Amino acid sequence: MADTAPTPAEHRFPCDQCGADLRFDPGAGALVCDYCGHAQAAEPAAHPVTAIRELSFDKAVAGQLATEEIEETRVLSCTNCGAQVEFAPDIHAAECPFCATPVVTDTGTHRHIKPRGLLPFALDEGAARRAMTDWLGSLWFAPSGLQDYARNGRRMQGIYVPYWTFDADTTSRYTGERGTVYYETVTVMHEGKRQRRQVAKIRWTPASGRVARAFDDVLVLASRSLPARYTDALEPWDLGALKPYSPQFLAGFRAEGYQVPLATGFEQARVKMDAVIIRDVRFDIGGDQQRIHRIDTDMRDVTFKHILLPVWLAAYKYRGKTYRFVVNGRSGRVQGERPWSPVKIAIAVVLGLIVAGAVGYVMANS
């Protein structure tokens, strides 16, 4: 019997008091109604928090995941940056939160592996905006107009950004060489005189062995909408606080569909794992220096999770250029475009020349 495609999900939570839509309030850690102020728990008592279950990587790439692990959501695709952002069914035109490009598109769906966990927002929009403007204010030669625009401009967008995490048990056999530094005394001529000096040399001896490493929650960005240098700068994430996925945490926020396939994500995770294994091998070889000739890694029990991490995002068009800023929705770490003010730079150059001239004049007269 063929699997039936899941119906695109719509996550709305009416207020018990007035019927208006509730939103998740990071400050209160609960669903709050902006109309009547009623609040209710984001985690219903009937569904207590449980451990987040990992999924088999091999089954997923073979297309053997259970139907309940797959869902469809309704998305709008940005023609400029490629972001796929979830929107309510009644929205057909919007502005991309990632690059501020107007998006007008037909209704589409994104069929994907369901998120297994998420980190709820801990900072509200006001706290995120203060973190962003403080960061801009700390930058030398940033345009004052952009700082004012960011401080008083439109609201930032709360976006859940998709990530993969991977677990694996590894055993690696290696061959290489251990380098031990020793010193020899040699005689050299210096300014016509014989001098004795200590010269460092390395004695290489063969080395081989085995190292084991259990990897847990190797994090890989599953979005292509933001440069990796931005999202990498938002780390670390407190993954120990992950909660099992519940659409209630998304109330009032948007979520981006992943664009990096699972297999590609695992290739990126392997790069991170291999770097750790190389470090382990060097430590196991010991000595003062190491040469690695070969590493053969056996990887077992590979599992993964699709998770969502909270990011406050601002995209401003200022004097014909788009500036993007991202804020970690948990810690408040900020990253974004580095703005420059030609006027401030010119003033600094002129002042520098004046100071240099004054110093030169004083030195000449003294």
Cα–Cα distance measured from residue 33 to residue 196, given in angstroms and rounded to the nearest whole number: 83
Residue with tokens 């010991």: 286
Nearest to 97 by CA among 310, 313, 307, 319: 313
Query: Does residue 133 sit within a domain?
Result: yes
- SS3 state of residue 36: coil
- pLDDT-derived band at 40, boundaries 50, 70, 90: confident
Please report which residue ranges of the chain form alpha helices under DSSP H: 57-61, 125-137, 144-152, 228-233, 262-285, 342-365
pLDDT tens, position by position, 261-277? 999 999 999 999 999 99
Residue of 48 and 310 predicted with greater confidence: 310
Query: Does residue 363 sit within a domain?
Result: no
Query: Does residue 57 sit within a domain?
Result: yes
Query: Does residue 238 sit within a domain?
Result: yes
pTM, 2 dp: 0.79
Average confidence score pLDDT of the chain = 81
What's the average model confidence in pLDDT over 180-198? 84
Cα–Cα distance measured from residue 346 to residue 338, given in angstroms and rounded to the nearest whole number: 17
Neighbouring C-beta atoms of residue 172, cutoff 10 Å: 21
Give how far Cα 201 sits from Cα of 275, 289, 292, Å.
28, 11, 19
What's the average model confidence in pLDDT over 172-176? 98
Split into its structural domains, the chain has a count of 1
Query: Does residue 309 sit within a domain?
Result: yes
Cβ 300 vs Cβ 57: under 8 Å: no
Cα–Cα distance measured from residue 354 to residue 93, given in angstroms and rounded to the nearest whole number: 54
Query: Does residue 237 sit within a domain?
Result: yes
Cβ 194 vs Cβ 187: under 8 Å: yes
Evaluate if residue 129 carries a pLDDT over 80. Answer: yes
Neighbouring C-beta atoms of residue 351, cutoff 10 Å: 10
- pLDDT-derived band at 5, boundaries 50, 70, 90: very low
Neighbouring C-beta atoms of residue 45, cutoff 10 Å: 6
Residue 236, preceding bond cis, omega within 30 degrees?
yes
Query: Does residue 247 sit within a domain?
Result: yes
- pLDDT-derived band at 45, boundaries 50, 70, 90: very low
Query: Does residue 25 sit within a domain?
Result: no
Lowest mean pLDDT among 6-10, 29-33, 314-318: 6-10
Distance of CA 47 to the CA centre of its chain: 29
Evaluate if residue 163 carries a pLDDT over 80. Answer: yes
Sign (positive or negative) of CA dihedral 304, 305, 310, 315: positive
- For residue 227, give its domain range: 52-171+215-285+301-338
Residue of 258 and 4 predicted with greater confidence: 258
Neighbouring C-beta atoms of residue 335, cutoff 10 Å: 21
Evaluate if residue 340 carries a pLDDT over 60. Answer: no
Residue of 98 and 306 predicted with greater confidence: 306
pLDDT tens, position by position, 143-159? 555 555 555 566 788 98
- SS3 state of residue 356: helix
